[in-house]
Structure 1
């Protein structure tokens, strides 16, 4: 009887120890049993790093004996390949990368060990053109044109007004402000306000003492408010009456569409450029086989000569990337 109890106790102990060991292993390896995500990027193979352009819409396949998972790259070449939960970290596998205008590539990888960078060798332009049965056209003298909102100031008048700060000189202050800066003489602080009118602004205001004991005066305040519509001037005088002249231009702001133009550069068959957050209506101007043509991008980024993508950056700037279609080349 005692032997049976000992055996049962040992069996229970073994089970408890096994469960505890499994628990510790799972805690230390929380990804066990969860779907694994393999992350990487697909690029164009080229000795020049500046020509290793991202490849969009490439197909990425995880292989064992048969395909087990598939993903596609985005406009930046990024892909996230979700693998079965039974594939634990450290497991070896093979990946296959395919893109219509590139040679396919197979390479080994390890689950969640590294970021996968796949570089696909591009097919020659002649080969691509032959596959798609198209003739070759040359794009030259590329210009990107867009508009942006800008504010211009139309000068509609000016301000020239005199005002006086009245005071009697040589009067001791006796601690009763306002006083001179050294606290010795009685002073007066005079102020005046000017209004430019609805929708108008004062520009470059100036204040100058033009008469009276100017060495014993000081401008205390010169302030624009209400988006430049109101101008406030205050001056301190601790001698006899002084006269000031206030001058400024009066302008009315106007918002206009400003056209901007710049010359982008291309690397290999990829054209990449960025635009400021305020850019509107971008288009590409180019010489196509000697003819000057304007290619509006439009909301869907459809152009005859390339496959274009758009990506907004954290600073709200806009990055455009265009890959030439078969039958086109940059000149």
Structure 2
């Protein structure tokens, strides 16, 4: 079983150029239309929503090398110089945060954290092309020793499930494990929780998704007939989580649904004129920032907006989604392992 590449423009009308990070950045920037007097408080509130983890300090220098900076061509003149380095961002969807809202949506407690969605977003130098690589949660890996906040460390674990890294060591261990299996430096980290995702979908007025088959999953409380559905936040979250009611019940089927949902969400963000409604604008920005945990390099509105602005030249045609090539694990038919040498070639292309 191998990962299948898919063009990022599937299902979009010609001329559409939805960009996830740019859309988020411009949405956050747009709160300025609320007025000068209100903007200061709004900025403070949205900025304080964002939680962060100092991953660089925790991991130190024992990491893959950063992307090589590309010299700016001589004679090039630009009012806003393009970034000259590639960027890799580890994006996790998790139920790590405790609280009534997350628990009502099926989220775990702070001691039972899981990361069921993991994507490495690689943005090329110049920010005009991107590749999104999904890592199946059921992949068996060697989980490295990870530093803990109390000064201790976790033990090396062989044949561990990929998503156990977050469970035992949080974002720091998730980043270190991804870097260990890919030898690719993660420049940034973004995590979104259950309730924040549901709030974002609701703030956008829901999201329209077409399913190719009936979905009947008691675990995620999702029952949908094949066809087109307009989903609210709770149902969209259930769609992102379901796997037992589709295909062979593996995580690979869920990844396909997640990629479809991301595209539908991009379409909704692109078609919704958020900037004309201060109330909707604030609701969306509050949902985005309130759901995020980032590394310390992206833990402010200014930094998020700067990243979004740098992606203005990234078109949908140049965004590709793939799944890390995997095969069934010899030791367990319910687990997978990286398929070599295809997986190594994929990671090599992102360095």
| TM-score normalised per structure 2 | 0.18
Higher relative contact order (CA 8 A, sep 6+): 2
Q: TM-score, normalised on structure 1? A: 0.19
Q: Which has the larger radius of gyration?
A: 1
Greater helix fraction, Structure 1 or Structure 2 = 2
Higher strand share: 1
